[in-house]
Structure 1
Amino acid sequence: MSIGYDTDAELERNDRGAGKLNDYAYGLLARNKRIRLTLAGSDACQDELQTVLDQAGDQIETAISPRTQAQDRDDAPIVVRLFTGRRVSGPVGMVPRGLESVVDENLRRLDDAFGAARIPVEIVRKRGQLRVQLLMGEVRSKLT
């Protein structure tokens, strides 16, 4: 089952993010190291993404706080910022609808294991736009 498409009608079709809940096993860990999750809402953040790409190179990670109980109750979107080693960017997208629990659970596990909840990221160009992909499979590698 694909999550992200047709769930955020206010976003352009190509900007709704992508990911599959079936890519995650029991406990919401990625099934393999190739699993990626593409953020939604990145069209409005192209300038910020280009700045991050110019300044950071390859070592980019998320700067996301796990959702509070109030945010979870209200089903608030998880806004993603990037950590480049020197600074935290402005918002660059949000976790696609339906996959918030996957990201939140993996952030909590990373925080418990390492004291830093940072998911590795790759910025890619698709259809002429920059997109942010969370490397969820690499999180699995760190945790197992």
Structure 2
Amino acid sequence: MKRESKLEFRLTYDDSKEIEAIVCIIPGGAEDMNSYIYIDDYLTRNYKVAVININYHCIGNRPHLGSSFYLDDIDKFILDTSLKAINLKCINVYDINSYENLNNTFIKIDQEIQKLKLNQQLHQNYKLKTHVSFLPFKNEYQN
């Protein structure tokens, strides 16, 4: 696995204290190291510790941390197969190459499904199930 971006970390300590321990924090819960700044500060003020806070690999794989939605080849295959199953062949999902294009395509699909429902070619409660992927903002590998 090759990392294209440098490892990000923050080291917090009180240089007036003799350090007795090192605390490593790897954020979880879909947050980055900036969410833990108060914890770092609290620990270093109240204990003789240095705190290393690390952004783990692919932290940018969360929408609120910068990732965007896109369709990979498998997503496109799933969507294409699902559309063909309801006889929507007027949409070429393999041309989707940007978030804006993805959004516009989903709007068009929704409109076409509404037409099929109005013409009673689909049940009124029909919902298209599909899949999209996240594109990390640092172009990191997803596992």
Fold-level similarity (TM above 0.5): no
More strand by share: 1
